[in-house]
Amino acid sequence: MPSSVGRSLALAALFMVGGHFCQAQQVPIQFGEVKAADFAPQPKADTTAAAEILCDFGQSKIKGGDEGFELVFERTTRLRIHRKAGYGWATVQVPLYHKDDRKEEINNLKGFTYNLVNGQVVKEKLNKEAVFEEKIDANHLRCAFTLPNVREGSIIEYTYTIKSDFLFNLQDWQFQHTIPVRWSEYRTVVPQFFTYKATVRSYLPFAVKESQAVAYGTSIRMTKKDSYGSNLTNSGTNTMRISAQALSSRWVMKDVGAFRDEPYMTTARDYISSLDFELDGIQYPEQAYQQITST
């Protein structure tokens, strides 16, 4: 059976305006920087795979906004397409949720396809006409896009940001896929007002698993109650500066083999290496703890 561990993350760190970290860590990927050397065969590459994920990097932060706290999720992904069977990985679908006047929206969407032509890297940009939103039901949308001019040997990459009014929807993370993954990394920064339960599902070891208190700051303009009916401030419209503690966490897996479904597996999701979050409770300053999930 896979290791499934539910852990409450009691979260803490001191805010700075704009959400800048006092202890910045180097990111594992620089979007837009692909060189001819990146097309060379890699010693650990699975030559039978139709494609492979070179790097998948995501980070989630809870930051101050015009209507209280909001979740901000950023993702950058780079893949190598080996064979025609892997062309489907050039089409990406991003789920979005909305309810009443609250929503999730995708911003800063960019993508490139890189091909090596006569020893030179040829870079082609994701066209806006290749991006569209599709309504799934009353509360769910899907943003989809397809990277251009993909061929065998192409390197593709994309990046986007999701801003969410829904504090319960701290983005989950999947380290393993049906193609190999060289590097998968997820980071979170959550202030002490919010307690999340994290569940790790994995047979595989983490290359990095660490947490630390960090300094973090923000200003919040609260004009109405949050999605759970609580006011951050006791007055109506008010802009306030928050000082608190937060927990910065980082998980990394590397050289992850492709997931293969086996006959004994009733639900594949239970066996794929992943990290899930559930909002357990909220406690704003000078207010009682509000339990969100049932015990």
From first to last of its 295 residues, the chain has per-residue pLDDT tens of 343 333 333 333 322 323 333 346 799 999 999 999 999 988 777 778 999 999 999 999 999 877 788 999 999 999 999 999 999 999 999 999 999 989 999 999 999 999 999 999 999 999 999 999 999 999 999 999 999 999 999 999 999 999 999 999 999 999 999 999 999 999 999 998 899 999 999 889 999 999 999 887 877 776 655 555 555 555 555 777 777 889 999 999 999 999 987 655 556 667 899 999 999 999 887 788 899 887 6
What pLDDT shows up at residue 236? 54
Query: Across the strands, what pairs with 146?
Result: 91
Q: How far apart are CA 233 and CA 256, in angstroms?
A: 46
pTM for this model (two decimals) = 0.85
Given a contact cutoff of 8 angstroms between Cβ atoms, the answer to whether 27 and 222 are in contact is no
Quote the pLDDT of residue 44. 72
Task: Give the C-alpha separation, 4 to 278, whole Å.
Answer: 14
Residue 232: what pLDDT? 56
Going from the N-terminus, what domains does the chain have, and what CATH number goes with each? 3-26+46-291 (2.60.40.3140)
Per DSSP, helices labelled H in 160-261 are none
274: Cβ contacts below 8 Å, ≥ 6 apart:
172, 173, 174, 175, 176, 200, 201, 202
Closest to 282 (Cα-Cα) out of 6, 4, 1, 11: 11
Neighbouring residues of 191: CB distance < 8 A, sequence distance ≥ 6: 11, 12, 13, 15, 62, 69, 216, 242, 244, 245, 246
**Which sign, positive or negative, has the C-alpha torsion 97, 98, 99, 103?**
positive
- pLDDT for position 58: 99
pLDDT at 23: 46
Provide the pLDDT for residue 215. 82
Helix (H, G, I), strand (E, B), or coil: what is residue 122?
strand
C-beta of residue 289 within 8 angstroms of C-beta of residue 283: yes
